[in-house]
Chain A
Amino acid sequence: MVGPRDDDSVEWSATRIEDVLPPIVAVVVLVGGWALFTAFASVPSFLLPSPIAVAGRLAGNPELYATNALATLERVVYGGAIGIVGGFALAVAVTFVRPLRYAVLPYIVTVRVLPKIAIAPALLIYFGTGRTTSLIFVAAIAFFPTALSTIAGLERVDRRYADLLRSVDANPIRTFYAVELRFALPDIVSGLKQSVTLAVVGAVVAEWVVVDDGLGALVLVASENLLTDVMLAALVILLVEGLALYGLVVLLERRLLWYASAESD
């Protein structure tokens, strides 16, 4: 059903200069090579503009990128928040109400297999174009990872700790908060990471199908008009935005799960 507690992220934290240097050199070489290639090879700029042209687009019309970045950000944050909160609430509900669990869990697991991107045209028919539809779409995509990871995390709680609290007749709601939820936290955070990443994907797809602003729409329009430098500039901003959102979750993880790396047994 749900895999073991881990996500695919590779932990990489550099502290020493010899660890920081190679990736910087790599990106300089890559961008430099790209610049040289476009300068000396006769590639038409609509196929591969130089990095300078891309930077020029960014500097020349910052409002265009800022406005669209903000539109995408709003979509990701609102839609993502709805999906994440909904997924979390459902997970808690099915943990407490066993019949509900048996009623809905098989279908959640089934629907999870469906590529959510495929429902975008369906949403277009039922809800039309516009902001609401885009939020529904982002929420639907962000919902599943958080819901499933939280359900799995709450399942994994160490029974011995539950026994300990039962032996003093502790209040079940306080026990849930102090034990179940705390032990599920690594899974919840791992689901959160996937939800945030997918919310960005959802926003971009929504911007292709149901709304006409945002970085996704900009990428699409630019590519249709062969404005490859604009398209690349929009992609760079999208990358930065995605990284920033993911980074926020990593910061949250470090704050909440500081003990996870220290605990040896």
Chain B
Amino acid sequence: MIDVENVTVTFDDVTAVRDVDLRVDTGEFVTVIGPSGCGKTTLLRTIGGLQDPTNGRVLIAGRDPVASQSDANLGFVFQQHTLFPWKTALQNVTFLRKMAGKSPRPGRARELLEAVGLEGSEHLYPSELSGGMKQRVAIVRALHLDADVLLMDEPFGELDEITRDRLSVELREIWRQERKTILFVTHSVPEAVLLADRCLLFDGPPGRLVASFDIDLPRPRDERVFESPAFQRQVAAVRSALYGTRTEPASRTD
């Protein structure tokens, strides 16, 4: 579904991403973990067609990302909710679909909002919603595009840990039910492990892929996964690769 071939992105004389090759299969949930400023966001923007690669190319369903933009086949969720303050939750959800040139489906928008526990909050404005609720609306907004691919750039980065864990479990469930292909960028190791079928380790600058982990955890996943030894082992493995050390305690704080 997503093919990244030998992509390099250079700004003036700074290389943000160097020689990245990666592939995300249809229906796969892949996370990209790496330290802040390592070029993850640039990679995601390049995949989404918001940034042109200096070298190499990106294909989404075999075509240029710009073609996917035209078909509204890409749903972005950013770290900041980017909801319009003068629109209600429901209006925010339907507005993007309208701007994408797709026929309105207000009933479906309500359904999706209900599915993430926002029934009764459809007509609230962003200023009346909590941080977690705002990100739920942003996710629903992307889902409502009926895009096959979701590109998520640290969408839970500004949330507290409890909300973040809860939303991670919810997102996994949404992914399972809606059958999306998701590429999810994060700097939280537990989040990267919990969400992923496959977790890619990114380092930089310049950003490059250094390792890939197949995450072998029960599916579907719920909060109990956090306590399982398998989860702790995976987190420890990713973390030790990340820090380049052997024995990093598998604590859940970072």
Contacts and interface: CB of A to CB of B under 8 A. Distances in A.
Contacts of A240: none
A171 interface: yes
> What band does the interface of chain A fall in when counting residues whose beta carbon is under 8 Å from B?
20 to 34
Contacts of A158: 82
Contact of B96 (A163, A164, A171, A182): A164
Contact of A263 (B48, B80, B96, B126): B126
Nearest to B49: A167
A169 interface: yes
Contacts of A169: 66, 69-70, 72, 100-101
A96 interface: no
Interface in A136-183: 158, 160-161, 163-171, 174-175, 178-179, 182
A178 B126 contact: no
B50 interface: yes
B130 to A, nearest CB: 11
> Range of interface residues on chain B?
20 to 34
Contact of B50 (A166, A259, A263): A166
A168 B147 CA distance: 10
Given A163-B50, A169-B72, A182 B84 contact: yes
A216 to B, nearest CB: 40
Interface string B50-62: 1000000000000
A263 B134 CA distance: 13
Contacts of A175: 99
Contacts, number: 64
A161 B49 CA distance: 15
B99 A170 contact: yes
Contacts of B70: 169
A264 interface: yes
Interface in B77-110: 78, 80, 82, 84-86, 95-96, 99-101
B82 A167 contact: no
A168 B82 contact: no
Contacts of A262: 85, 125, 127-128
Contacts of A170: 99-101
Nearest to B126: A263
B145 interface: yes
B48 A167 contact: yes
Given A163-B76, A168-B72, A169-B70, A259 B145 contact: no
Nearest to A185: B86
Nearest to B77: A164
A42 to B, nearest CB: 61
B223 to A, nearest CB: 28
A103 to B, nearest CB: 27
The 6 closest A-B pairs by CB, nearest first: A168-B100, A170-B99, A262-B127, A169-B69, A169-B70, A263-B85
11 contacts: A163-B76, A167-B49, A167-B50, A167-B69, A168-B99, A168-B100, A170-B101, A171-B99, A182-B84, A259-B85, A262-B125
Interface of A: 158, 160-161, 163-171, 174-175, 178-179, 182, 259-260, 262-264
Given A260-B85, A263-B85, 14 more contacts: A160-B78, A163-B50, A167-B76, A168-B69, A168-B72, A168-B96, A168-B100, A169-B72, A170-B101, A171-B101, A259-B125, A262-B85, A263-B127, A264-B127
